[in-house]
Structures are given as structure tokens and as C-alpha cells.
Amino acid sequence: VSNAGVGMAGPLECQSLAAMQSLMDTNFFGLVRLVKEVLPDMKRRRGGHIVVISSIMGLQGIIFNDIYSASKFAVEGFCESLVVQALRFNVAISLVEPGPVMTEFETKLYEEAERADYSRTDPETAEIFTNLYLKSSKDVFSSLGQTPEDIAEHTLRVIEAPRPPFRHQTNVAYTPMAALKHADPSGALITDAFYKLVFKYDTVLRFSL
């Protein structure tokens, strides 16, 4: 089970390339290093199961999570490319895709975001992030967030499945989001929906949450 991960949220201009590279080194290359270690022996034995804790943000990018989403997209693409070869050797690969999870990981991330310096971006972007995104994120976590124990139970079900699924989303609240993306290959539908939720109907969004 590959579960290492770090987060990053905020305006792109305020994040250093060094911090971005460090995040990718953990979230993506950490997984690659692990798979390179375990896969050869699994192929020799013609049996094994690699379970990767990904994220719903590996399926859909979320505003102000540009680099974190990119790392999870990389994880998803890596596993999607590898799974067919792995199946030839009777090795299963499963992606567990949670939405928000209520842990110290997220609490620390948002506490740091509230204290960060946003002078390197324009005032409008800083305002959107601090007064719109951070407030909405707290509402999302309090209403849709899962516990670590819940994610562990989902992961256990994936491990014990007679035919392990390639993808397993842990939160049904995010099923419509994934469906919207697949419904319109041009991307216009999901982009328009998210734009309106963030910039036009944010009050309705928070109320509904």
C-alpha cells in the first residue's frame, strides 16, 4: 500500500519551484520508487496487489490545488499505463480515490495557508483564495469529509476483493463530478459548472453543504 503524500494549496505565483519539486518527489516519485522495488518480485511470483492511495483530485483538478492535482494526475496516469502489463503477470493495481479526509494533514495545510504571504500574487487572486476558497473548503470538509478509519475500511475492502477494482472512489458525493467530466470530452461542461459554483453560486454551494 502506497500512502505517502504531502499537500499544497494556494495561488501558483506564491509557491516556489523547490516546494513543487519536493511535493512531486513524495507524491509521484515516491510511488514510482516503491513500485520499482516490489513489482519485479511480484512478476516472478506471478501474483501480487499494489494499492495506491490517490485522490479525487487525480480525476478532476480543483481550483488552487494546481500542483497537488498535477501530482495525483501523474499517479493516475502512471498506474493506468502500468495496470495492463501488471495483469499479464497476475498482479493487481488498485487506486483508492478519497475526497476530503479529516486528518491533521488537512488541518495543518489550511492553517499554513491562512498564515502565508500572498504578496507575490495580485490582490484579486489573494482575495479569492483567502475569503472564498478557504471558507468554502472548511464547509466542504465539515460536511463531506470522511474519517481516516472510513478510508481504511474502504482500502481493506479493496485489498480483500476477489477481483480487485482498478479504481475505487470512497465518497459517493463526488460521483456526479466524475460523471460530468466523462459526459463532455471537450471539458466545457465541467469547467462551466465549477466556474459557476465558485464565482456565481458560492453562497448556494455553502448553504447546500
Cα 114 to chain centroid, rounded: 21
How many Å apart are CA 60 and CA 175, to the nearest integer? 11
How many Å apart are CA 26 and CA 62, to the nearest integer? 20
Question: Active-site residue among 68, 110, 133, 201?
Answer: 68
- Amino acid present at 197: L
133 is catalytic: no
How many Å apart are CA 148 and CA 153, to the nearest integer? 9
Say which residues have a Cβ less than 8 Å from residue 114's Cβ, sequence separation at least 6.
Answer: 130, 134
Catalytic residue numbers? Answer: 68
